Amino acid sequence: MEKPPLPNDEDGSVLAESRSDTALVAADEEGSAGADGPEDDRPAWDSKLQYVLAQVGFSVGLGNVWRFPYLCHQNGGGAFMLLYVLLLLIIGVPLFFMELAAGQSIRQGSIGVWKHISPRLAGIGYSSCMVCFFVALYYNVIIAWSLFYMGNSFQYPLPWEQLKHTECASSSPTSYFWFRKALDISDSIDQSGEFNPIMTGCLLAAWALVCLAMIKGIKSSAKVMYFSSVFPYAVLICFLIRGVMLDGAVEGIKYMFYPKVTTRVWRQAATQVFFALGLGYGSVIAYSSYNPVHNNCHRDAIMVSGINFMTSVLASLVVFVVLGFRAKNIALGYPESVTLQDYREWYSHYGNLLGSNITDCDLEREMSKGVEGTGLAFIAFTEAMALFPASPFWSTLFFLMLLNLGLSTMFGTMQGILTPLMDNFRVLGRHKTICILGFFIGLLFTQRSGNYFVTMFDDYSATLPLIIVVVFETFSVAWIYGADRFLDDVEVMLHWRPPVIYCYLWKYVCLLGMVGLLAASLLRMVFKRPTYTAWNHTMGSETSLEYPGWALVMLSMLIIVASLPVPIGYLLSFLRGGRSLPVEEGEIEPPRERYSKCNSAEPEPNNHHSPLDEDRNRPRSTFLPLGAEHYRLLPQQEEGEEEEDTGL
């Protein structure tokens, strides 16, 4: 249902009044509708629990399970966690709070929010939508893989336990099943091959699940969140309890926290903070836009960030107790029969007298195999679960957990696309259209070389564009709109003023930190030629290959297409001579000064009060919970004057 147009005076007298006598109407929890006027038709969460589960479900994703544990070990264990917490507090939480507050106060998706905050940088919202679409394309493929493995878990023994093949013997049964049975992968990205019919069917099922869950927007997806956001925690706790009973669990935890000195720790910690909270996607803004105006988004930012970090720690413990069991079982063969220390001491004395089939128990080497990304989930963890008693049960549980983690993140990603499109281009914001388009483009990932394209999209379609988006987001709020003014709006919204330290964090720490991360990422791309990991079926092992020329062009286009809306939006706004928003025929555009930085202290000459000075004397105001096209300026009411019906 389209929102009805606001009443306006034929002669435009409302907007023709002096700016010193006007103010933005303050938003209210019950909506902005007048007593006799129509109500805002924007959906809303049924409860605070729904909203929290949605934000947690989006931010807690597969990266918490298969990325954070790897980074934690590779960069010094406990030292990495301390640095991660520090960056989370000074960069992650402030930026997360900024996005929550912007979405909740303006009550629009990413396009509408940044169009209001910084009209010349309105392209930020379009870039967020593009990145969300790229991520949705390959993220649903991972959900399809989880569906495939979960379906194969309902049999005993598990199909990847005992495979007999020459290629399998030179690697491992789980590696062979993943690369040759599940993916039927080619030897390089140049060898595309035919489509994988089973994976194509799984991808169709994955998009069907997403489409059904999004059929009524947040009203339907929020119901699914009650299960998809909570179930992974139950599974992680079950795996942790079972894992600590396994031989090798203690060695696994020690390996996780074993200190290592690296020079790239700050960059990897900052990157993980950035992606763990889902900054820049527009999904955080979209979810918060359905909140009541006076919801305490500051508390939400701290709570969701804390839950995200604790989930990463829990997942890391689960991963390494299971990998410790797996590594010790591989190294010793009979983990209950002898301790690791006794075995290594025995081997140091008699190892040179033994044949080549008896080797040293190098736990470090075994633990380092496949502890990141798909290698962890579909190779290392599946191998460990095959050693569990009742292995089909644990395998089904694990892949059902991955399925729910993926779906909850996918719902948020889709909302980052649909909400801004519905707010600005209602015809385009149909979930069926997005899902059908996503499936057909996603067929790129179901051919034999599809896994290599998933790696390309994962590495390049989101990383740089998202960092660029957040840099401009922070700059827009801190320097163009004004950090102090933004905090004023938040004060009106929350009825209390957040600490002033947020102004300094937004203006300096967050902005400089994100610019530094952008520079480090660009330098890494320039000085290190992009590579991908391919499967060599002749050797039965993985090998690192450089992308061919056409693939380099493709990944460059992914970055450019996702980042291009920002400069294009600025250029179009500049060519229009500063007119940021299209004004319909017969409509008078509100004065731009009302939306610009307002902390100047310079007085106007000729005893004339400036609008900026008068802003300090009148009650602070916030945004209407309506679309950008429905904002209007109304006469300022004197204190004690009876409120008039606005006709909204």
553 is in an annotated binding site: no
Crossing angle of the two packed helices 123-152 and 110-117, in degrees rounded to 10: 160
- φ/ψ region of 184 (left if φ > 0, alpha if ψ in -120 to 50, else beta) reads left
Instruction: Phi first, then psi: give them for residue 533, nearest 5 degrees.
Output: -95, 125
> Helix, strand, coil proportions of the chain in percent (round to 5)?
65, 5, 35
**If we measure between CA atoms, which residue out of 246, 627, 257 comes closest to residue 425?**
627
Spell out the residues 6+ positions from residue 146 whose beta carbon is closer than 8 angstroms to its own. 399, 402, 403, 406
64 is in an annotated binding site: yes
Let me know: does 191 contact 449? Beta carbons within 8 Å. yes
CA pair distance 413, 277, nearest whole angstrom: 12
CA pair distance 291, 298, nearest whole angstrom: 13
Let me know: does 572 contact 580? Beta carbons within 8 Å. no
405 is in an annotated binding site: yes
Measured CA distances, 619 to 413, 492, 497, 602, 641 (Å): 37, 9, 14, 21, 14
57 is in an annotated binding site: yes
Instruction: Phi first, then psi: give them for residue 403, nearest 5 degrees.
Output: -60, -45
Burial class (CB in 10 A: 0-12, 13-18, 19+), 610: middle
- In DSSP notation, 452-465 reads HHHHHIIIIISHHH
CA pair distance 513, 109, nearest whole angstrom: 25
Token pair of 385 as six digits: 């679960």
Token pair of 154 as six digits: 């309902």
Spell out the residues 6+ positions from residue 641 whose beta carbon is closer than 8 angstroms to its own. none
Instruction: Phi first, then psi: give them for residue 98, nearest 5 degrees.
Output: -60, -45
CA pair distance 441, 237, nearest whole angstrom: 37
Give the bridge partners for 531, in sequence order: 546
78 is in an annotated binding site: no
- Annotated binding residues: 57, 60, 64, 308, 405
Which residues define the annotated binding site for Na(+)?
57, 60, 64, 308, 405
